[in-house]
Structure 1
Amino acid sequence: MTAHLPIRSRLVHDALRAAGIPGEIVVLPDAASTAPLAAAALGVEVGAIANSLVFWSDGAPLLVMTSGAHRVDTAALAARLGRERIQRATAEQVREATGQAIGGVAPTGHPAPLLTIVDEALADHPEIWAAGGTAHTVFPMTFDELVALTGGVVTKVD
């Protein structure tokens, strides 16, 4: 039942179901807007947290799903992708592209699909956790489910 979920999380829930992903959205008592906070709240390794980071590149948003144990090397990633430059999106750009706020961006449930990069290191974890549309919501899935859900390109991001 999704009635107790915030509207942004209900959109994520509906997108997960449409993609055939069974993971349930969990509402955390405290905000988990960073990978270390989410990992601590869930009792998992920080590397099993799939951070949703929105960047701006070549005039469009770029979603990077990275392991919570990594930082994105934007110069190296731009070179790998053949892009001129990758820079952090502003809070306004994030909300416009995803309909969600920084600290709670999910890999799905956006107004339109986003070009997505998936950190290959997330494959090291049998279960990964991503934000569910708010800083208080998360959900589990597998690496393969994340790649299928986002249509993401798997590559090294650090």
Structure 2
Amino acid sequence: MARVLINGEERQIEAAPDTPLLWVLRDELGLTGTKFGCGAGLCGACTVHVDGVPVRSCSTAIEDVEGSAVTTIEAVDGRAAEAVQAAWEKLDVVQCGYCQSGQVMSAIALLSENRKPTDDDIDAAMEGNVCRCATYVRIRAAIHEAAKIMEG
């Protein structure tokens, strides 16, 4: 049994220690905003924050987050989260939307650490977040827009 703070609520998870966090979130807790993409931590669709750091939940075992704070797309908040969500909407970033929760989680983490990212900073932070619809130009523009929103 693992004890994990998930979206601000302490949970006791009864799952095998090597169960991927993704399946605990989706199947045990009904938090389906975190998506399954590749199952190997390569596409970013399953990105969540563990103690504020973006991680791939499909390749993170529940035992590895015991005692940590996990935040999913359902519970993001704060200045960076609000700015990213507003910019995504303003610039109409989403096409099919499947990858977007992971993209948003990575963007929030970036802007929480770096309020004025360059294109290179954005590319580095978003590397490994795959968008099947290739909205990368809009994603980068939205991150710049979110940084502007945070300034104001």
TM value normalised by structure 2: 0.29
**Normalising by structure 1, what TM-score?**
0.28
More helix by share: 2
